[in-house]
Chain A
Amino acid sequence: MRKVFVKSRELVVPGTLLAQGPFKAGRGTFKEGSRIYSTVVGLVDVRGDLVRVIPLEGPYMPEVGDSVIGKVVDVKFSGWTVDIGAPYQASLRVQDATEERIDLMKTDLRKIFDIGDVIYAKIKGYNEVNQIDLMTKGMPFRGGPLRGGQIVEVTPSKVPRLIGKGGSMITMIKKLTNTRIIVGQNGWVWISGPNDELERLAIAAIMKVNRESHTQGLTDRVKEFIMGHLRELKERGVIEEVPSEGGEES
């Protein structure tokens, strides 16, 4: 007997009975007997026999292969300790940091990454004892450090929404605001723009996506939002021209 008690994309809270019968309990759910309950506040997603809840809040859980943005919190003898917003701190070893061989006796690791530097890294390993290993070798921008710019945090589960289908959302924000944006899968977003106003506008747009991620027609609304502010900025003489509405290749 299969029974689903909720609609797809319905907002649920922890402890809500979602389904009964031969279902698989996906993320954000737990199974007791043949019943599946939600464990988080989120949106229900039923696909075939898999029931899961996409959380609207929650900590970042690392997965091997994720590209994340992190902040160096400590420089050790042969590596770095990095905060990536997960429950555990991550570590980056010298041999995973750069292509060239580094003589630990002769090099000051602070010259590569110093405390407070923002890096763009890939998760190389995440094991049973919750040790997170990072790798900056082979990453875009050589993994950083990313100079200037700002970091904002969005809920990790909303990152796909921020990027959009085929990158549509983030490309649109980047083009219209003329900023450089790097989205880490841990929900940390690095933004650097030609001036404060545009940078702030891009951040406002990103936070709007974060806040309204569970609603429909978001891309159009965000575009509207940015265009409105761009026109205002033009009037104030901050920018010379409002980019074309279509966001075509330029």
Chain B
Amino acid sequence: MMGRPEGLKLIDENGRRIDGRKKYELRPISMEVNVLKNADGSAYVEWGKNKILAAVYGPREIHPKHLQRPDRGILRVRYNMAPFSVEDRKKPGPDRRSVEISKVIRGALEPALILEMFPRTAVDIFIEVLQADAGTRVAGIAAASLALADAGIPMRDIVSACAAGKIDGEIVLDLNKDEDNYGEADVPLAIMPMKNDITLLQMDGYLTREEFMEAVRLAIKGAKAVYQKQREALKRKYLAVAEEVAGNE
């Protein structure tokens, strides 16, 4: 690919990637819910070097009135990258890329939400990327979905997400920045794990049909691992309190 440093090998002779991971290994992920006081629900996710904050407000009445839907609530998503989130300063404000990502994230989360319960309202999600290192849309979906559950908005399932890709001719899980830049393809995917429904599937780069299917299967596996972490993070908030209480007695 263009601008690839001379002699850069994304996978070494031992089958290790540049950050030492194996082919099917996720980056370290940590999640926490209820990190913002003023939001109805919030979550903070660290996914490798990605640092993402998600906040949920609502359901609340919206104006202007013509945006209201008499039969259901609407979902609004804003994905935003902080100017300091990438190596070269990013010009603040929405751009073509973030508008598109906001749109696909909305599509990824909407099927899980039971918005028919709140006609004429809106649920607002704000996803702030504080530090980016490839795969921010899937990390953003994971964070947003946690924040929604934390806000107590009824959902059919927690939406979970992960990406797979192709580097140096091999299909691997969860690309980081260098692998994304100098690799051959990136396939982000979001699922509702209970029923294996895919709610987001994109591809950037070139894959054969077989490679694509392998990437999708791999990303689903990754998303399921992320799903377990999401469940833990949601429960931890309450179990921590219960333990603390039991410890005092």
Contact = CB atoms under 8 A, between A and B. Distances in A.
Interface of A: 11, 13-15, 17, 28, 30, 37, 39-41, 55-59, 87-89, 129-130, 155, 211-212, 214-215, 217, 221
A15 B157 contact: yes
A57 B152 contact: yes
Contacts of B155: 14-15, 39-40
Given A30-B156, A40-B154, A88 B194 contact: no
B156 A14 contact: yes
Nearest to B118: A87
Nearest to B233: A13
Chain B interface residue number, banded = 35 or more
Contacts of B153: 40, 58-59
Interface in B29-88: 40-41, 58-61, 70
B114 interface: yes
Contacts of A214: 238, 241-242
B239 interface: yes
19 contacts: A13-B149, A13-B230, A13-B235, A14-B149, A15-B155, A15-B156, A15-B192, A15-B194, A17-B194, A28-B154, A40-B154, A40-B155, A58-B154, A87-B59, A87-B60, A87-B121, A88-B121, A211-B241, A214-B241
Contact of A215 (B156, B231, B242): B242
Nearest to B121: A87
Contacts of A30: 114, 154, 156
B154 A14 contact: yes
A170 B109 CA distance: 40
B234 interface: yes
A57 B59 contact: no
Contacts of A14: 112, 149, 154-158
Interface residues of chain B: helix, strand, loop or mixed (majority): mixed
A215 to B, nearest CB: 5
B132 interface: no
A221 B241 CA distance: 13
A215 B244 CA distance: 10
Given A13-B235, A14-B158, A39-B156, A57 B61 contact: no
A88 B117 CA distance: 12
B245 interface: yes
Contacts of A11: 235, 238-239
A101 to B, nearest CB: 32
B152 A56 contact: yes
B151 A58 contact: yes
B152 A212 contact: no
Point out which of A11, A57, A58 has the most chain B C-beta atoms below 10 A from its C-beta. A57
Given A15-B194, A41-B235, A56-B238, 6 more contacts: A14-B156, A59-B153, A87-B58, A89-B61, A211-B241, A215-B245
Nearest to A155: B152
Given A88-B61, A88-B120, A13 B152 contact: no
B193 interface: yes
Contacts of A57: 41, 150-152
A56 B241 CA distance: 13
Nearest to A221: B245
Interface in B223-249: 230-231, 234-235, 238-239, 241-242, 245-246, 248-249
A6 B211 CA distance: 40
Contacts of A215: 241-242, 245-246
Contacts of B120: 88, 130
A155 B61 CA distance: 19
Contacts of A58: 151-154
Contacts of A13: 149, 158, 230-231, 234-235
Contacts of A129: 70
A17 B157 CA distance: 10
A17 B238 CA distance: 20
A11 B240 CA distance: 12
B144 to A, nearest CB: 13
B111 interface: no
Given A28-B154, A87-B59, A212 B114 contact: no
B81 to A, nearest CB: 28
A41 B152 contact: yes
B149 A40 contact: yes
